[in-house]
Amino acid sequence: MRTILLPFYDDPVAETALEQACTIATRFGGHVEGLFVMRPPQIIEAEGIALAGAYITQLKEEWRRRADRAKARFSERVAARGLTEQPLDEAADGATASWREVEGPEGQIIGDYGRLFDLIVIGRMSEQALIDWQVMCEAAFFESGRPCLVAAAQSGATIGERILIHWNASTEAAKAIAHGMPFLAAASKVLVVTVEGAVVPGPSGDQVATHLRRNGVPAEARTVTVGASTAGEVILAEAAAMEADLIIKGAYTQNRLRQLVFGGATRHILSEATIPVLMAR
C-alpha cells in the first residue's frame, strides 16, 4: 500500500478518513495524495433563460474557497501525523503526502485517476450535500479496478493488526484477499469467516486459510450459521468478537446491477461497521 488516493473535502468526515490513510501510509512507508474534485459550473440555457457570467464566476470562486480550506485542513493534519508534504516522484524516508485539485465529475475522476493507486480511501459520508460518498465508492469499485477502503466513522489506533475476511467463495472475495495481502502478511491474527448458506460454489474457508498460511499469514477459518440474523449482522458480530480492526470482503457479489449495488450484506456492513472495510471486485 505505497500509494493511497484520498478524496478530501473540508469536513470532519474527510479528516477522519485522512487519519486512517495516514495510519496506513505510516505503516507501509506510503504516500497519501489528497484529491479535491471541483465540479465545473453547469451551463443552463433555455428560451429566455441563461446563467449570467457573473453567477458562473461566483460559483467558481466558491469552489476555489472550498478548495483552499480543504488544502489548509489537509496540510495541517498530515503535518500533525508526521508526514512530509512532497511530490510523489521524490525519494523519501518515511510516509509522505501531496495535494491535487482536478475539475470534473467526482465519480469519473475517481474511477479513472484511481487506477494509478494501490488503494483508494473514502469516508463513509460527507457533510457537504454536493458530495455523494456512495457515488465515489461505486466509481472506485466498478471503474478503478483498485481496492477501496471505506473508513470508519472514528479512527482506531491500528488498522490491519487483527483482520476478519468475509469469504463467500466468490471471485470478488478472492480479489479482495489478493489486494489485501500487504495487510494480511503483516497481521497478527486473521480469521476467515464463511456464513453458512450465503456462499457461491467454490473453495472452502478452510482451503483459503491453508493457502494463506502457506504465504506466511496466521490464518484460521470458521463457519457460522445465520440463525435469526442476516449475513451482514453475523460478519459484524464475528468481527467484534475477535476485536478486529479491519474487514476484508468482496464487493457486491449478490447483485451486479449498479442501481442495486447498495443492498444485502454489503449495504449492512458499509452502513453499520465501526471499523474500516477493505473491498474489491
DSSP-based three-state secondary structure for 28: helix
> What average pLDDT score do residues 3-23 get?
94
Quote the CA–CA distance of 120 and 3 in Å, as a whole number: 9
The pLDDT of residue 44 is above 70 = no
| Eight-state DSSP code of residue 39 | P
**In 10 A of CB 136, how many CB atoms?**
24
Amino acid identity for residue 45 in this structure: E
Decide if pLDDT at 167 tops 80. Answer: yes
- The overall average pLDDT reported for the chain is 88
Query: How far apart, in Å, are the Cα atoms of 260 and each of 111, 176, 254, 264?
Result: 19, 20, 10, 9
In the prediction, which pLDDT does 125 show? 65
Q: What percent of the chain has pLDDT over 70?
A: 88
**Contact in structure between 121 and 97 (CB atoms under 8 Å):** no
Structural domains of the chain, with CATH = 3-150 (3.40.50.620), 162-280 (3.40.50.620)
pLDDT tens digits for range 66-84: 999 999 999 999 999 999 9
> How far apart are alpha carbons 277 and 21 in whole angstroms?
13
pTM over 0.75: yes
Q: Give the pLDDT confidence score for residue 45 in this predicted structure.
A: 57
